[in-house]
Structure 1
Amino acid sequence: MKEINRILAIYDQLDHSHRKVALATVVYVEGSAYRRPGARMLVSDDGRWEGAISGGCLEGDALRKARQVMLNGKPMVVRYDTMDDEANSLGVGLGCNGIIDVFIEPIDTADPVNPITLLREFSRVRDRRVIATICRKTPGIDLREGSRFVLTGQQTDEIPAWLRPDMERVMEVGKPLTTTIWLVGGAVDVFIERMDSGIELVIFGAGYDTIPLTRLATEIGWRVTVTEDCIAHLAPKRFPQATCLLYADAEAITDKLSWTDRTAAVLMSHNYHYDLAVLTRLLSTDVPYIGLLGPRKRYEKMQAAWIKTGQFFSQQALRRVHSPIGLDLGAETPDEIALSILGEIKAFFSGRNAGFLTDKLGPIHERSPIDYQQVLD
């Protein structure tokens, strides 16, 4: 989300009466690459750019290709083969050992469904959606390159029947798909990606160690709400990066907050009774991740308190509680603890075990089992 929001911010700063703009999007990766499908870079005709499609090795050539696209108004797919450093046409040893396809398209500011408009809507709504982009087509197909179809939770008849099954599959599994679809009269290359809203972090407690957690979370693009039952702790000058500061007592807090499947709740007030009351309320919600700062015995004491008062929570509900919270990094300072907490939350929502990459067998990123057939070359 942070990269998308930066692209939107730079786009809004440009004088579109004098500047032309293009958008470069990674649509296919085979082997290793620094960025994955869906990575974007906005380019203006004065050489300004925001975002990235690689670790810095492809951007220069992509800028040159983008100028060509802006001049002739025709999108293109550019293939970068980094498998052989010695034969690399870019003149630098990339060392990525991969093939990357980048779709570069001009942005028509008068088009109400141009890609920037769609990114802006996603940033505003912050829902889960699938976007399918026509990257290339044979001459007999009555679609333009750059045409897009959007699948959300809302019913729509605008998605063609031949495309809907693949879009629904991507919505379900979350992995991007680049594929060739044969139709009457020809074929199209389509890039389909699921876009998820950024992680939303709700922090219960506004102590000194909440400050670096808020700062680091917002730095990586998460939305952060800090809430407390002491209004004096919620001074805006202490949390200038926070998205929201909310004053509420523990008994009413869950009535004032909303949750998504990308929300993480972190309890770090250092007040046992406040954390117990909040945790008790949170377990009756569907927030997917609950982290509790402090030693394991603190959480065990809370569980004993529930038994004593006759409160019961299912094992499924209790599995959402992470206590002690954080990865085992040897963290000691508030900043290091914040890093440990954010690392665990990111791993949780990514479905990873957060181990050392050096110990992982096979590639860093999952490989798509579907081959991208270059039938339109």
Structure 2
Amino acid sequence: MEDIHRILEALQQCGQRSVLATITRVEGSAYRKEGASMLLFEDGTQIGVLSAGCLEADIAARVPELLAAGVPCTYTFDLDTADPLSWGEGPGCGGVIQVTAVAVGDQLRGHLQMLKEYLDDQTEVMLILKNSTDPLGVGYSFVTSSRHRFGEWPGSFPKALLDWAAARIGWRSGMQIVPGETEEVFVHTYFPKPRLTLFGAGPDARPLASFAAAAGFTVTVADWRAALCDRSFFPDARTLLDGFPEETAGRMRWTPNDYVVIMTHHFRRDRELIRILSGHNLAYVGLLGSKRRTQRLLESGSLPEQWHAPVGLPIGAEGPEEIAFSIVAELIQVYRTSRKRRLSYEAT
């Protein structure tokens, strides 16, 4: 998923000086789009990527000057030519990319920590970045759907801009003219990590938890069998819940950002979970098992649109690892498709 989550975790764990670089404009094709970010530490460590290797070395070479300047700097990389005398030794990637980079000082670090807290609480946050040739005109603000604003903005933050931002969180990223500003500003929405809950902690859940966490999901594993629901089996899971379905499902605050896979291998528990989860608006629910078993579970009922059975993409998977790959692929497909639908809807 988005690199911002790994970036925020790295900032929380490491106190050394760093630079945050973000793609703010793309013309033509590019490996990453507007909003993609990377963090470059003073010791050369990098978190995230902006390209397929075309830009990172150049930005890394600028880290000392960026740390010294302490203000945002914007660079334009023309990858639209195969001319070996042009920038980038003729990568020919086909696009022009604008990157804005800034040293992460104490104030920005504090605001990024606040951003992490909102994202961890499943709240979407919009960034509004204002660039200017005048250092006094440079600033940024984060705005949440509840209209909370934090950041460093030059002068007073217009109420009309706050209203505009709160109503458009989740819209397409890029440079835009916004209320109260005569020049373009960059806007981008940071989304919480999608959450995946696995009901069932059998051996086949272990690779699924690991692969899903690597793909960017926050993973919770729930099972009433304490011997199975053990940290040694699920080192990459954020949370382990010990209890029967009614107990563990009742402890969750379900949102449309939640993904669920039911894999208890216990018919009565699966049926109980179907009953409980049917009352919630979830992004995805997958049922492990054959179509015949699913029909028995549903007692001749039909699956809601967001439910998938059998779970996973039909790639002919066999064994826990291959089945886990097929499920994670389907999770990513559903996540990306839902994001594209949302953007298409907002564009109309």
Match of 1:318, SS state, is: coil
2:41 aligned partner:
44
Pair 1:344 & 2:330 matched: yes
Aligned partner letter, 1:116:
L
The equivalent of 1:357 in structure 2 is none
RMSD: 3.1
Question: Does structure 1 retain, via aligned residues, the 8 Å contact 2:314–2:326?
Answer: yes
1:3 paired with 2:3, answer: yes
User: Equivalents in 1 of 2:256, 2:112: separation in Å?
Assistant: 25
CA 164–295 in structure 1, closer or farther in 2 if over 3 Å, else same: same
Aligned with residue 323 of structure 1, among 292, 309, 313: 309
Aligned position for 1:144: 137
Structure 2 vs 1, CA of residues 116 and 304 (structure 1 numbering), >3 Å: closer, same or farther?
A: closer
The match for 2:19 is 22
What is the distance in 1 between the residues matched to 2:167 and 2:119? Answer: 23
Write out per-residue CA displacement over residues 60-88 of structure 1, whole angstroms, 9 at most, x where no aligned residue. Answer: 11122332222223321111111112166
Separation in structure 1 between the aligned mates of residue 264 and residue 91 of structure 2, nearest angstrom: 48
In the alignment, the residues of structure 2 paired with residue 148 and residue 230 of structure 1 have an alpha-carbon distance, to the nearest angstrom, of 46
Q: Give the letter aligned to residue 144 of structure 1.
A: G
Once the two structures are TM-superposed, the CA of residue 267 in structure 1 deviates from its matched residue by 0.6
Report what 1:219 is aligned to: 214
Number of the residue aligned with 1:361:
none
1:61 to 58, 63, 68: 58
Alignment CA distance shift 1:292-1:4 (3 Å) = same
Give CA-to-partner distance per residue, 1:304-332, whole Å, 9 cap, x none. 266xxxxxxxx7x7223211111122211
Determine helix, strand or coil for the equivalent of 2:137.
Answer: coil
Q: How does 1:175-324 map to 2 (within 5 A)?
A: 175-180=172-177, 187-304=182-299, 318-324=304-310
CA deviation after TM superposition for structure 1 residue 295, in Å: 1.3
Larger-Rg structure:
1
| CA gap 1:77/1:166 in 2 versus in 1, 3 angstroms | farther
Q: Secondary structure in 1 aligned to 2:220? A: strand
Aligned mates of 2:149, 2:45 — CA distance in 1 = 37
Partners of 1:25 and 1:326 in 2: how far apart? Answer: 34
Asked if the contact 1:204/1:227 (under 8 Å) is kept, the reply is yes
1:33 alignment partner, one of 30, 42, 45: 30
- In the TM superposition, 1:120-139 aligns within 5 A as 120-134=116-130, 136-137=131-132, 139=134
The code of the aligned residue for 2:123 comes to D
Q: TM-score, normalised by structure 2?
A: 0.85
Asked if structure 1 preserves the Cα contact closer than 8 Å seen for 2:31 and 2:52, the reply is: yes
- Contact 2:200 2:221 (8 Å CA) reproduced: yes
Moved more, 272-281 or 244-253: 244-253
Letter of the 2:285 counterpart: I
Partners of 2:289 and 2:309 within 8 A in 1: yes
Matches for 1:149-168 after TM superposition, within 5 Å: 149-154=142-147, 159-164=157-162, 166-168=164-166
SS at match of 1:265: strand
| CA shift in 2, pair 1:64/1:118, >3 Å | farther
1:254-274 CA distance string (max 9 Å, x none): 212221221111111122221
| Structure 2: 5+ residue stretches without partners | 151-155
Distance 1:303 1:13, change over 3 A: closer
CA 1:13–1:247 in 2, change beyond 3 Å: closer, same or farther? closer
- 1:68–1:286 distance in 2 versus 1, CA, 3 Å: same
Structure 1 segments unaligned to the other structure (5+ residues): 307-314, 355-364, 370-377
TM-superposition CA deviations, 1:162-187 (whole Å, max 9, x none) = 5346524541x532131245868xx4
Q: Which residue of 2 aligns with 1:375?
A: none
TM-score by length of 1: 0.79
Q: Cα 1:67–1:203, aligned 2, differ >3 Å: closer, same or farther?
A: same
Indicate how the Cα distance of structure 1 residues 78 and 348 shifts in structure 2: closer, same or farther if over 3 A, else same.
same
Amino acid at match of 1:160: P
**Residue 54 of structure 1, CA deviation:** 1.2
How many Å separate the matches in 2 of 1:119 and 1:168?
A: 15
Deviation of 1:349 after TM superposition, in Å, equals 2.1
Q: Secondary structure at the match of 1:239?
A: coil
- Deviation at residue 103 of structure 1 after TM alignment: 0.4
CA drift of 1:202 comes to 0.7
Whole-angstrom CA distance in 2 between matches of 1:86 and 1:259 = 53
